[in-house]
Amino acid sequence: MGITEPGADDGAIGAVERAFAVVGVVREHVTVRIDDVATALDIPTSTAHSHLATLESIGYVVQGEDGYRLSCRFLRDGVAVRQRRNVFGATRAEIEALAESTGEVANLGVEENGQRVLLYQAEGTEAVYDNAPIGEHTEMHWTALGKAILAHLPAEYIDEVVDTYGMPRATRHTITDRDRLDSELARIEDRGYAVEDEERREGIRSVASPIVVDGRVVGSISVSGPKARLDDERIEAEILPELRNTVNVVEVKYAYE
């Protein structure tokens, strides 16, 4: 287990890095023209055109009247990646059932390269969606999903995560002190669940439990919603029993898949 620091050279090929930078600009702006890419990346227009033309030729961007946009090949690739994660197959139906039973948003998260990745999400009838897209990478200490996983990772790896990404702030409630994070992780490990209290989004609260199979954490499941609805009393009386039952089922399914 190790982390590749964002931006680290380590034999990187500049043309590949530039191509993915172009993809990032197109993703951020939805539709772009050549000049938009050139300006955003501070590169010559001819270079921007070459990258876009190459991406178009291999099918990863398409050109329309308004400019270039990403193609559905990225959707194909993303779905393939998710389908090959065993935890997704063991969890999808249970996440949907959890969202239905709680009425809130249920989420599946995994750790990749020291960050929390949102792998799947289902919305209950009363759900308030906080605009977190599938595939989103965030700092581990921002979310209940991430903290639930961190609490079950080796101390040396947690050191590496913090050394690589630091402890940036998402809201005024985010934990930004390492000693406080260590105390929080010890508490999570002891009680078996993590709470996110407006640490990533103002007004949003979340509770998460880790998925642990054969002593190894393979992901986490959470329920999230408005702070006013996810108070301590409801978490203890309703959400946690549902969440724990879901995790138990998932762990058994994962072990036998």
Model pTM score: 0.81
Whether residues 107 and 232 fall in one domain: yes
Does some domain include residue 9? Answer: no
Rounded to the nearest integer, the mean pLDDT of the chain is 90
Whether residues 66 and 100 fall in one domain: no
The domain boundary residue, chosen from 55, 76, 97: 76
User: In sequence order, what are the beta bridge partners of 195?
Assistant: 207
Tell me the pLDDT band of 79, cut-offs 50, 70 and 90. confident
The secondary structure element, H or E, covering residue 216 is strand 216-226
Does some domain include residue 65? Answer: yes
**In this predicted structure, what is the pLDDT of residue 255?**
82
CATH of the domain at 46: 1.10.10.10
Of 11-25, 206-220, 232-246, the one with minimum mean pLDDT is 11-25
Domain of 69, in residue numbers: 14-76
Q: Is the separation of the CB atoms in 164 and 114 below 8 Å?
A: yes
pLDDT tens-digit readout, 168-193: 999 999 999 999 999 999 999 999 99
Tell me the pLDDT band of 7, cut-offs 50, 70 and 90. low
**In this predicted structure, what is the pLDDT of residue 74?**
84
pLDDT tens-digit readout, 43-65: 999 999 999 999 999 999 999 98
Helix segments in the chain, DSSP class H = 14-29, 34-41, 45-57, 73-83, 86-102, 144-150, 155-165, 178-191, 232-234, 240-256
Query: Domain tally for the chain?
Result: 2
Pairing mode, strands 137-139 and 115-123: antiparallel
